[in-house]
Every structure is written in structure tokens, then in C-alpha cells.
Chain A
Amino acid sequence: QVQLQESGPGLVKPSETLSLTCTVSGGSISGYYWNWIRQSPGKGLEWIGYIHYSGSTNYNPSLKSRVTTSIDTSKNQFSLRLKSVTAADTAVYYCARTSFDGNNYYLFDYWGQGTLVTVSS
């Protein structure tokens, strides 16, 4: 059974960089797209972006200037960095998997449990 687990600091100061890692177990990171999604009371669920196992990326334009992602296939991990955070970035952050069978995409079949990140001084 595939499992995803987010990890990282739960508190980040304004203007600093939020860094999270998602560790994939029970399956390979290869062959899939790996997503970050966040949920805040004010904005509901928001897709942040994905990184493909090959390293290609796609980000939400609303966050693109502040987001970078990376992937380490040897560790079965991928990571999110969001710079210059403000209180508006306070949210529960989830990682999730997308698969592709050559014709169709199958979004978010597996999710991490989520991690709350609070932006505050």
C-alpha cells in the first residue's frame, strides 16, 4: 500500500522560506507526478504544483514566483520550498500522487495526512 508522509517545520517566520518534504513508501516514486496541495480556511483547497519523477514541473501561476520543488528518486522523496511567506500562507499542506497511463491522468489517488504550517513571528 502506497503511503505518503509530509515532514517539516510547523512554524515559519514571515518573509522566510517554508520547506517541506514528502516521503513515499510502499511504492516507487518513479513513473508518477507528485503534487503539493494546501488548504486554508480562507481559500479552501489550492493546488500548488507538481514535479514529475523526471524532474519536470508545473506550478500554479498564483504561486509560481515563490515556489520551487525538487525530487530525490534514490530516497523516494520530493520537496517543496515556498519563499517570502506571509500569514496568508498558513495552511495544512498535503502531498499527493498523480498517475498517467499514456492517455489519461488520474489525480490524487494517494495523499499524505497533511501538515499544518503556521506563518507567525
Chain B
Amino acid sequence: DIQMTQSPSSLSASVGDRVTITCRASQGIRNDLGWYQQKPGKAPKRLIYAASSLQSGVPSRFSGSGSGTEFTLTISSLQPEDFATYYCLQHNSYPYTFGQGTKLETK
């Protein structure tokens, strides 16, 4: 299985901050990666697909980059509604695997 390692596991930040979350794959996955946001008690919501394509309806402050083994999710200016847990997902090889999550908390 491809292991997806996210860092950091948790992050404290303030409204207006620029935040970057990293996801590393244990082997190359081209750009077969998505980013998901999950709030407590809710299903994950797709933010980014194909590593850098913004899901329709998602604010432009979210962006994704990377290819191969290293990927980043950036939130350019944190808003109150962005405090949540973020997951990466690889779908290059079966079984699909998720990162362990990054919990974004208010400082």
C-alpha cells in the first residue's frame, strides 16, 4: 500500500494567517491526489482534485500544488470557517489511502 504522511498532525493558527499542510507519498503518485476538509460530525468535503484543481464552489484562498511524492495544501488567509481537519487522499494505486489528517485549530 502507498503510505500518505501528512505534516503537521496539528496546527494552531489565527484568522488571516497563511497556512501550509504537506502530504508525502511513499512512492510516486503523479498528480493522483485530492484534499478534503472535514468538520466535526460531518462528511469530508473535497477541496482540491488532481493535486491542484480547485473544486467548484470552494473559495480561491485554497490552493494545492505538487506532483510525484510531495504535495501541499495552502490556505492563503484563514477564515473562521476554515478551522477543521484536512486529509489528503491518493488514488494512483489500489487500495486508495488517506493521510492521517491535520487538525487546524485556532490559536
Could you list which residues of chain A lie within 8 angstroms of chain B, going by C-beta atoms? 44-47, 58, 60-62, 94, 96, 104-109, 111-114
Cβ contact within 8 Å between A107 and B34: yes
Cβ contact within 8 Å between A46 and B98: yes
Chain A residue contacts of B64, Cβ below 8 A? none
Interface residues of B, CB < 8 Å — how many?
Answer: 21
Report the bound CA distance from A61 to B93 in whole Å: 12
Select from chain B the residue with minimum beta-carbon distance to A95. B43
B89 is an interface residue with CB less than 8 A from chain A = yes
Report the bound CA distance from A96 to B96 in whole Å: 13
Select from chain A the residue with minimum beta-carbon distance to B55. A109
Cβ contact within 8 Å between B50 and A47: no
Question: Which of B34, B43, B87, B100 is within 8 Å of A111, CB to CB?
Answer: B43
Report the bound CA distance from A58 to B46 in whole Å: 22
Interface centre among A106, A108, A114, by most chain B C-beta atoms within 10 angstroms, is A108
Report the bound CA distance from A86 to B102 in whole Å: 28
Could you list which residues of chain B lie within 8 angstroms of chain A, going by C-beta atoms? 32, 34, 36, 42-46, 49-50, 55, 87, 89, 91, 94-98, 100-101
Cβ contact within 8 Å between A45 and B43: no
If A45-B87, A107-B34 are given as contacts, then 6 extra A-B residue pairs at C-beta distance below 8 Å, sorted by A number, are A47-B95, A47-B98, A58-B94, A107-B89, A108-B44, A108-B89
Select from chain B the residue with minimum beta-carbon distance to A107. B91
Report the bound CA distance from A47 to B34 in whole Å: 14
Shortest Cβ gap from B75 to chain A (Å):
20
Report the bound CA distance from A115 to B93 in whole Å: 27
Cβ contact within 8 Å between A47 and B43: no
Question: Which of A62, A96, A107 is within 8 Å of B49, CB to CB?
Answer: A107
Chain B residue contacts of A107, Cβ below 8 A? 34, 46, 49, 89, 91, 96
Cβ contact within 8 Å between A62 and B43: no
Cβ contact within 8 Å between B46 and A47: no
